Structure 1
């Protein structure tokens, strides 16, 4: 099944729940008579009555949670990304995604907030049907929608990935319910969030999550796995750098301080390799962590959700 065939079969109007009637060059028409715009084969399905995003802005490729100008291949970005040491590192990133790719071969995968990693997701999950999505057209995803109103039928996907997304959602508890609705029973949800990280992508940055806070959102899922993907040493390096940069307002001074702070603090992240990423202490002050949930449709009480904390390996 191609991506277009999958979309025709599984898309719904988020405001009515009705399925897709036809997928035309310039619009998607739903069974209820509703329509959504299509630009360059990318459907833009937004219910503006409840979303903070507007179809007009998306069609005009207005930056929202990301701006492609900051990802261009110019000297500044190349120097910052390829030459200067990074302040943080997700040391288990490659292993995590490689294992998921093996587990979900020939399955259906939805990526929420794919951003500038679309090529990565398509390559790592090359043996699966991958639908990439975002709330903008900056990097040409397969589909544009608001995660508060995911336009797919119930149980459409075997795996859903939401990496660095929930902090940018206005009401993450609604997004979590949508993720649980759209993933299949026994399907997986990979959710990656920051805990200690500066305000970013303003004004679309709303929340930070603790272990128990994130766990509480997915009450119809068992917790399959968790880890501090970026530890407290990465957090210290990042905030030390940000503190020094924010001492200055001048753009060029800030750039100079960024250069100096990367050299001063870039080594700190390697301290995270000395600590376990899966115990109580690793979850006290990480820069960011991830959880893998399995939807089992068992409704959990608040007490049961809180008890997950006491299962942490000390």
Structure 2
């Protein structure tokens, strides 16, 4: 795809300083137009189902604001993604605090529409409960999905206080609804205190491949990538990234921090090797700006979202190269 065929892309800093203007993600144009779009960034400002510290409803705006720091080209992948992709900022969905059923319906409807247009969404959370509705919308188009989850918590508990829908239960519900296949899904980085000693084993019993933080550290990044790719194969994949995967020393702005986590360098190294997968959606969740320090958590989340964009650009570059042969 030539540059003249790209419908939407970010404004360049050559026109104005990056800190000026309306804070869309990386200065992507804000539009709900899906024609000619490859990827769109979607704000999910909902945190009513957080179990402890709230505030992630303000995550999307914080991530967008700090994303002005990011430059367009990716040195690791040797790619300028916006020469291959048309990318927009869809804006925030009008989610309703206190009403998760209505909120889920809004997300599901929007994600179904996005998927039907063959556009890949990148969600900015918001708490992790939103991911269930994202999966519902995408599964209507793509069928049951495989899940790649970077997280400190498995989020497969059955309930909190007798309630089935919280940010600690989305993947239990998704499994029960048959919108993800646990036998082709993988959870990476789990750690911290538990409700029961065998909580991780329970998730494995459901069929998930769960790799604890301690096990991750015994692997090289290439070994981890091989295991993930073997697990999901060529199936449609949703990649969900909870910011509490990182240690609170580098990502303090989150509702459920867990010590013993990963550095930003480790996290980026692990995920950058995950190209060549059939992604149909992404999200980065649980950024809570009120607990952040100097915007470092929001900046890290913005970089994660940018890496998601680059995954799609690398895939598009490969397809263009193949067609040119």
Which fold has the larger relative contact order, with Cα–Cα distance below 8 Å and residues 6 or more apart in sequence? 2
Q: TM-score, normalised by structure 2?
A: 0.34
Q: TM-score, normalised by structure 1?
A: 0.35
Name the structure where strand makes up a greater proportion of residues.
Answer: 1
**The structure with more radius of gyration:** 1
